[in-house]
Structure 1
Amino acid sequence: MRTGGNLLKRILIAMLLVLLALGAAGCGTQQQGGHDKKFRIVTSFYPMYIDAINITKGVDGVEVVNMTKPQTGCLHDYQLTTEDMKTLEKADAFIVNGAGMESFLDKVIKQQKNLKVIDASKSDDINFLKDGDEVNPHVWLSVTYNIAQVEAITSQLCEADPEHADAYRKNALDYVTKLTALREEMHKELDNLPHKDIVTFHEAFPYLAKEFKL
């Protein structure tokens, strides 16, 4: 039991490191552009930022900014700050997880009527789980559903910024290929574990458990 648990822990840590590494590969390159007017994308929290910088990697004239600090965690009870609103005032598009994660979203839409909101969970390929009567919004913890989110972000981003649509689609395809390989690697390691009982400290992990039959 202990061996299986240690292996599972190593796999989950490896997954996080790979996702962060994929994200880091896009850092810095999308910040520099030759255009006078950059297309400015703001993301609601770190998982959306990781997706966004991979989709926009190397695209000239596009800037990605994460609204909240990386250690913020989930946004269920997050309160917008004055700095957040200033950040959003300068944004052309705001990428959110959706599905109720950003409890402040109605306030943003009300105050920033011209802001294009890109909902990463707006996908027919996501089957939402529920916590009681409420939808569980932590879909990015399923690799399969995160792929669906990447595709949803890309589709809506291409509509918001058609000038860079071809580059977004190419980057998204490359990123989905990496995520698909990651999913296959994790299945290879986890599918044959002798024990699949886990204890979690957060309601986010049912999607991970469902993906790998934990």
Structure 2
Amino acid sequence: MNVRRLIPAAALTGAVALGAGALTACSGATAAGGAKDGKLDVVASFYPLQFLAEQIGGDHVAVSTLTKPGVEPHDLEITPKQTAQLGEADVVLYLKTLQPAVDKAVEQAGVENTVDAASLTKLVHHDLAGEDEHGSGAEHGSEDEHGHEHGEAGDDPHVWLDPVKYAEIAKGFGATLEKADPAHAADYKKNTADLVGKLTALDTEFKDGLKNRTTDTFITTHSAFGYLAERYGLDQEGISGVDPEAEPSPARMKELQALAKKDNVTTVFFETLASDKTAKTLAADTGLKTDVLDPLEGITDKSQGADYVEVMRSNLKNLQKALGSK
């Protein structure tokens, strides 16, 4: 597990006190209360890791996020001042390769206690738009001395969209909090078990809910759903690869039109944090419907649910409709 030496929050009281107000400004959320209320100050890089930290940490942590609601995580920029402020956190939880600006800031800040979520599960490579027929590919990555997989360039970072892999990250981070704050280890262990239980139930809902479908193929503007597709035997076809704002080539649009007809595709999916222009263009050219498939990179008032579990259930409902599940 890629965790640098962790020390209890009490030992960092002075440092947290100095950086508390500044870190709050950095994250746009309540944070860094460790010096006043004894809570562990946890900074998460974006929403899925924020949700995980809040669920597991409970009342013993103050969680903030570097990515404000409505901001596309891939586009996040961090100032030198924010990088300096980041070093005052007790624990930083991020996902290496997803947000280059965060990777750079964590390295430059010399953060004492970091958890790379990518090291808590196994990242794989998923071929992107037009690279192969099924949208999934060979595994890559190297293991550290503890046998944990580290992502390489080209590995798909959108691992939280698979409830099973997300649960693996939860278990690893829960163990980290137990070591960082042993006085509350029992609570972290219980909270982790509760969250893993919810994710296991969600996995079952997807397995049962996607049975008896009429097609395996779904088209999306953002190729973020490789892990979800792999878990439930689906074929993801991205219009523009990992960048939801990229303009697809005419050849790719023509290819998708033919594929939609061949595989009985009914729906083109777009997401809440990006433009639906390409989805609507393809849908208009092919007579298909459009709907939302949310990669859960952030929660806003436009999201189809208030948290990770609710939005994932909305995704399931929209997939069932599109794939003809009965």
TM-score by length of 2: 0.50
TM superposition shift of 1:80: 0.9
Partner residue, 1:50: 51
Matched, 1:173 2:183: no
Between the aligned partners of 2:65 and 2:103, the Cα distance in structure 1 is 19
Query: Residue 91 of structure 1 is aligned with which of 89, 93, 98?
Result: 89
Q: Given the alignment, which residue of 155, 158, 161 partners 1:141?
A: 161
Distance in 2 (CA, whole Å) between partners of 1:126 and 1:212 is 17
Query: Where does the alignment leave 5 or more consecutive residues of structure 1 unmatched?
Result: 1-29
Alpha-carbon contact 1:116-1:160 (below 8 Å) kept? no
The amino acid that maps onto 2:89 is A
Shift of 1:120: 1.4
* Correspondence for 1:11: none
Residue 232 of structure 2 is aligned to residue 212 of structure 1? yes
Other structure's SS at 1:52 match: helix
After TM superposition, list the pairs within 5 Å mapping 1:27-38 onto structure 2: 36-38=37-39
Larger-gyration structure (1/2): 2
| Other-structure match for 1:151 | 171
Distance 1:90 1:199, change over 3 A: same
User: 1:153, CA displacement in angstroms?
Assistant: 1.4
Q: What is the CA distance between 1:130 and its match in structure 2?
A: 3.7
Cα offset, 1:83, TM superposition:
6.3
**Count of residues in correspondence between the two structures:** 180
State the distance in 1 between where 2:191 and 2:179 align. 16
* Offset of residue 164 of structure 1: 2.5
Q: Is the 8 A contact 1:121 1:152 kept in 2?
A: no
Q: Does 1:129 align with 2:125?
A: yes
Q: Is the 8 A contact 2:45 2:102 kept in 1?
A: no
- In structure 1, distance between residues paired with 2:209 and 2:85: 42
| 1:74 equivalent in structure 2 | 73
- C-alpha RMSD over aligned residues: 2.6
Q: 2:200, 2:58 → 1: CA distance? A: 19
SS in 1 for 2:230: helix
Q: Name 1:104's counterpart in structure 2.
A: 101
Contact 1:41 1:93 in 2 (8 A): yes
C-alpha distance in 1 between matches for 2:215 and 2:221:
19
Query: 1:109: how far off?
Result: 3.4
- CA change 1:104–1:34 in 2 (3 A) is closer
Partner AA of 1:204 in structure 2 = A
SS at match of 1:55: helix
Distance 2:103 2:94 in 1: 12
Matches of 2:107 and 2:206, distance apart in 1: 42
Query: Whose RCO is larger (CA < 8 A, sep 6+)?
Result: 1
Gaps of 5+ in 2: 1-30, 129-152, 235-326
- Summarize deviations over 1:127-170 as a string: whole Å, max 9, x none: 51244761111110111111111112112232333332221111
CA distance in 2, matches of 1:194, 1:88: 49
In 2, Cα distance between equivalents of 1:49 and 1:127: 20
Judge conservation of contact 2:46–2:65 (CA < 8 Å) in 1: yes
Q: Give the letter for the 1:112 counterpart.
A: A
- Partner secondary structure for residue 193 of structure 1: coil
1:82–1:114 CA distance, 2 compared to 1 (3 A): closer
CA contact 1:67–1:87 (8 Å) conserved in 2: no
Query: C-alpha distance in 1, partners of 2:95/2:211?
Result: 28
Instruction: Provide closer, same or farther for how the CA distance between residues 163 and 108 of structure 1 changes in structure 2, counting only shifts above 3 A.
Output: farther
